[in-house]
Amino acid sequence: MDYPIEKLSALMWRNNVKIEGDHDFYCFCKEPSPVPAPSGKEHVIKYWEWYVQPHDVFRLYKKIDLRAGDCVSVNILATENACDAFVRLMAYSEYDDSEIQSRSITLSERGWQNLTLAIPSDKFTFINLEVIPQKSSVPQGKWNGMDGYVDDFKIIR
């Protein structure tokens, strides 16, 4: 059975320091998919963040009790300003600060890409989609943010 992850929160870190602010308020919306979405849905989640610098860590996350044997899956699409970002899924345990990560991919404009992460135990309590830009979001002052699209973020049980 699939459990879609509907509501997400967001945080950003720079040099291992959390950047304060209400990232939830201004970094998500639903928009028509710019190209056909793998789920077949007409609308997908658009995310963005302002003034990113190389190696910032932008996390879209949800607190959820994950179970051993769960598989987390997400489709992600870059736009023209992906800042050459690396993206990965990460599960985190608030009980012992352990974490597991999926492989990393580089966002590109080639189309939708899929990430999956198998959950090995019941101790994980957060799922994160990490976006790590590799260049500034302010190229010659033309644009001041990075953005992309997320489709079918779900837990498969």
For 30-55, how does the pLDDT look when each residue is reduced to its tens digit (9 = 90+)? 999 988 999 999 999 998 888 888 89
In this structure, the strands spanning 9-14 and 17-19 are antiparallel
Among the listed residues 115, 116, 125, the one whose alpha carbon sits nearest the alpha carbon of residue 67: 125
Are 112 and 74 spatial neighbours (Cβ–Cβ below 8 Å)?
A: no
Q: DSSP characters for 91-148?
A: EE-TTT--EEE---EE--SSS-EEEEEE--STT--EEEEEEE-SS-S-GGGS--EEEE
pTM value > 0.85: yes
For 101-152, how does the pLDDT look when each residue is reduced to its tens digit (9 = 90+)? 999 998 866 689 999 999 999 999 999 999 998 888 776 666 677 888 999 9
Q: Which domains does the chain have, with CATH numbers?
A: 2-135+145-156 (2.60.120.200)
- The yes-or-no verdict on residue 26 having pLDDT over 70 is no
Mean pLDDT for the chain overall: 88
Range 91-103 average pLDDT: 95
Token pair in block for residue 29 = 């919306």
Among the listed residues 67, 112, 119, the one whose alpha carbon sits nearest the alpha carbon of residue 89: 119
Report CA-CA distances (Å) from 153 to 5, 55, 113, 140: 6, 24, 12, 34
Are 16 and 53 spatial neighbours (Cβ–Cβ below 8 Å)?
A: no
Token pair in block for residue 98 = 């352990």
Q: What is the CA radius of gyration of the chain?
A: 15
